[in-house]
Amino acid sequence: MGGGRLFLLVRGEPETGVSPLGQKIARLIEAQGPIPVSQFMMLALHDPEHGVYASRNAIGREGDFITAPEISQMFGELLGLWLVEVWRQQDAPKKIRLAELGPGRGTLMKDVLRAARLDAQFLAALDVVLIEASPALQAVQNATLKDSPTALRWSAKVEDVFGDMPLFLIANEFFDALPIHQYVKTESGWHERMVTSDDGKLGFALAPMAVPGFTVPESRGDAENGAVFETSPASIALAEEIAAHIAQQGGAALLIDYGHAGTGFGETLQAIARHRSAPLLESPGTADLSAHVDFAALAEAVARGGASAYGPVAQGAFLQALNIEHRAEQLAKKNPPHAKAIQSALQRLTAPDQMGNLFKVLAVLPPTAPAPPGL
């Protein structure tokens, strides 16, 4: 094992690191010792030379996965109208920051701004910031948004969304890609799962020592030996920071992702390449990595930040409460040749056996604000 430290293998035979990034990670491990799953995720996604987001466009039909905005314009339009309504509920401040974390191909922001055109005062109030670390995706977003009705700017730093004005923020399928730590229950306690290397082959292992005093939330229930607990300190810290700003300055945030309500145990980290499941360690840098979001942990972070959390609710129920069926009917009447495709998109976004239940929506608002639409 790398680094000369003894580790207990827990997931079968090591997988082969055949990609350039896999070779780079193997060399790192062999020089410094095994790395936590969180560090492996960061390298696989954000390595400046070979990471998924640095080297390729993973989104869309030609990429690894398709997000809700790519399925139908209805999704972004309804979120845009939601933002306008919440802005009005907070007495329509004259200057606000509209931010999106991880804007993908720019499709969601394009649809949000299309809906924003319905209120000239809202549009005039906007300072739009797109948080994107990938130069390749920034270029795609810039092309998608070339006809934007308002000025746009980009930043690679999440902290650039904060400032001295109300913040209206959207994070759609952003938190699922933030790094997670995995812990496995054994007779001696909770051990962190690590990535190790054996002659260039990457595999999973457990740290030999249990984490002192490590506990899991009571809502999870009792853990049997072999149970896996996932946590994302980066997600929790960011949710608390967003909440603290909104509590002090006003605004709202919509956090939309696939995830759970913080019960039970299990590993959800997955690799997706060309819309199919891929081995996690086989070729890092060639597949997107993500994990289910713990919305209970995010809601608790929002409360610690001083804001109010609404939800999580299922995406299907949220979109239905915003009248997505009516919007689908309108689109179908205007575009009869596309009626079948519109209905199919509606089902994909809302049906319980598609995205409707797996994806959740959590809203963040100031403690004095009224309850938002749909939640």
In a domain, 271, yes or no: no
pLDDT number for residue 277:
85
Alpha-carbon distance values, 246 to 21, 132, 201, 240, 308 (Å): 39, 21, 46, 10, 9
pLDDT at 231: 97
Q: Write the pLDDT tens digit of every residue in 55-74.
A: 555 554 444 447 888 899 99
Q: Distance (Å, rounded) from C-alpha 246 to C-alpha 238?
A: 12
Q: Are 361 and 254 within one domain?
A: yes
Confidence label for 219 from pLDDT (cuts 50, 70 and 90): confident
Same domain, 174 and 185: no
Domain range spanning residue 87?
Answer: 68-178+233-265+288-365
**Residue 280 is encoded by which pair of tokens?**
């996690």
Rounded distance between C-alpha atoms, residue 229 and residue 220, angstroms:
9
List Cβ neighbours of 101 (8 Å cut-off, separation of 6 or more).
131, 158, 161, 169, 170, 171, 174
pLDDT at 56: 54
Claim to verify: residue 76 and residue 40 sit in the same structural domain:
no
Helix (H, G, I), strand (E, B) or coil at 264: coil
Contacts of 28 (CB under 8 A, 6+ apart): 35, 43
The reply to whether 248 and 344 lie within a common domain is yes
Domain containing residue 344: CATH number: 3.40.50.150
**Is 257 in the same domain as 221?**
no
On the 0-12 / 13-18 / 19+ scale of CB atoms within 10 A, 107 is buried
Domain-located, residue 146: yes
Q: Identify any residues that bridge with 364 across adjacent strands, giving them in sequence order.
A: 253, 309
Whether 179 contacts 41, CB under 8 Å = yes
Residue 275: the pLDDT is: 67
Please check whether residues 25 and 137 belong to one and the same domain.
no
| Beta strand spans in 84-227 (E) | 96-101, 126-131, 152-155, 167-172, 181-186, 189-198, 201-206
Q: What is the C-alpha to C-alpha distance for residues 169 and 109, in angstroms, rounded to an integer?
A: 11
Residue 283 has what pLDDT? 87
Pairing between β-strand 251-260 and β-strand 152-155 as defined by DSSP bridges: unpaired
Tell which wins on pLDDT, 323 or 52.
323
Identify whether 45 is part of a domain: yes
1 pLDDT above the threshold of 60: no
Q: What is the pLDDT of residues 140-175, one digit of tens each?
A: 999 999 999 999 999 999 999 999 999 999 999 999
User: pTM higher than 0.85, yes or no?
Assistant: yes
Are 109 and 40 found together in one domain?
A: no
Q: Are strands 152-155 and 8-9 parallel, antiparallel or unpaired?
A: unpaired
Same domain for 36 and 9: yes
Cβ distance 77 to 44 under 8 Å? Answer: no
Q: In degrees, to the nearest 5, what angle opens at C-alpha 293 toward C-alphas 278 and 9? A: 50
Per-residue pLDDT of 91-148, as tens digits, reads: 999 999 999 999 999 999 999 999 999 999 999 999 999 999 888 899 999 999 999 9
Let me know whether 243 and 142 are in one domain: yes
Pair (223, 293) in one structural domain:
no
Instruction: Sort 364 into a burial class: Cβ within 10 Å, 0-12 / 13-18 / 19+.
Output: buried
- Give the separation between CA 94 and CA 97, rounded to whole angstroms: 10
Q: What average pLDDT does the segment 185-192 reach? A: 97
pLDDT in tens, 311-351: 999 999 999 999 999 999 999 999 999 999 999 999 999 99
Domain tally, the chain: 2
For residue range 20-46, list pLDDT tens digits in order.
999 999 999 999 999 999 999 999 998
- DSSP 3-state of 262: coil
- pLDDT-derived band at 15, boundaries 50, 70, 90: very low
User: Is 75 a domain residue?
Assistant: yes
